[in-house]
Amino acid sequence: MTISNEWLDELLTGCKRPDGLLGEAGLRKELKIRLMERILGAELTAHLGYEAGAEAPPEQSNRRNGISTKRVKGSDGEVPLSVPRDRDGSFEPELVKKGQTRIDGADDKIIGLYAAGLSVRDIQSHLEDLYGLRVSPDLISRVTDAVLDEVREWQHRALDRMYPIVIFDALRVKIRDAVSRMVKNEAVYIALGVTRDGEREDLGLWIADNEGAKFWLPVMNELRNRGVQDILIAVVEGLKGFPQAITAAFPDTTVQTCIVHLIRHSMNFCSWKARRAVAADLRPIYQAPAAEEAARQLDGFEEKWAGKSPSIAPAWRRAWAEVIPFFAFSAAIRKIIYTTNAVESLNRVLRKTRKTKGSFPTEEAATKRIYLAIRNFEKGGRAVREWVAARNQLAIMFAGRFDA
């Protein structure tokens, strides 16, 4: 469609200031209203089968029956619309449906602000200040509650048959108990998979009272029930019994401890001043080219720090069975499984949301906000860097399983 300059000149006659075009009573808003009313009239014409002002067909018993006025909320504030009616009430407009009170992505604005961690009161203030929209707390709750249906569908969707890498992690959040009204620390469990094509995919989120390995076995079984038959490498933090929970459901999976989690755990056993030196001395262990060299470096570390920080080396030895698989992998694979960086990036988004919110009134409120944070996180890009080299290595190391 081409709009002529002459038509634009006629349309803009009388617009001498920006408010005349963009203001509350400006041309843009009026034009949108008139266009919407024109479309609604065309919809009724298609419904009745005759044009406005024309004679109705003899066999047509239904007729036009004036208009009704409704106000809908949009990016320009409240917009008054004249909606045409028919006599028998069978007209169902598509542009603005019966009972619809919001247009132009008003719901998306509410959900976007909610996902950013704003409170209901903050959302009300923000929408009124920027868009002139006055919305009630009940409306905001209804809009965000609609996300729960999306969450349920997402949580029970079918998954791939095989994931080369799955990273498991947990984040602590504060949720108010519905019975005692006390705020409790609960764990949000997250499983982030890497697909055969090198795309990150959040497999699900689960909330439980305690962060423990016992909880993970039902999660593993749920993943199996949703179609996952094989996981090549599972990257986990150092929960006692967690590897057993994974291998009970996926017996062929290689379980790898997150090295960064282990390093952070080690920092708890040394003074603040010694942390930099301890971190530097741990580096030769996890950067060793082979497991034998890593074990030799661990012996050297233990000998050096046995007096000042005697608990660090035993902590590494307790996790050694889940550390040594790391040394069998190439640099390309090590870079991906060295840390749960992908989950850590997601956790940063969640922590930002958690800071603005403090605590959640219910588990559903926490689920909504965390899911929206995950959805926004995935919009930032899902591809794993330098995946081709890692994929080629995995295809050789797990021959028969990677391409099955």
Query: Quick one: pLDDT at residue 29?
Result: 65
**Strands laid side by side in the 162-176 sheet:** 200-208, 183-194, 162-176, 230-236, 254-257
SS3 263: helix
SS3 240: coil
Residue, of 327 and 26, whose pLDDT is higher:
327
Residue, of 47 and 293, whose pLDDT is higher:
293
Average pLDDT, the chain: 80
Tell me the whole-structure pTM to 2 decimals.
0.69
Instruction: Please write the tens of the pLDDT for every residue from 43-85.
Output: 888 888 878 878 878 777 888 888 888 877 765 667 778 888 8
> Which pLDDT band, with edges at 50, 70 and 90, does 257 fall under?
confident
> Which pLDDT band, with edges at 50, 70 and 90, does 274 fall under?
very high
Residue, of 114 and 247, whose pLDDT is higher:
247
Q: Which of 198, 223, 230, 251 is nearest to 400 (CA)?
A: 230
The values of phi and psi at residue 394, to 5°, are -65, -40
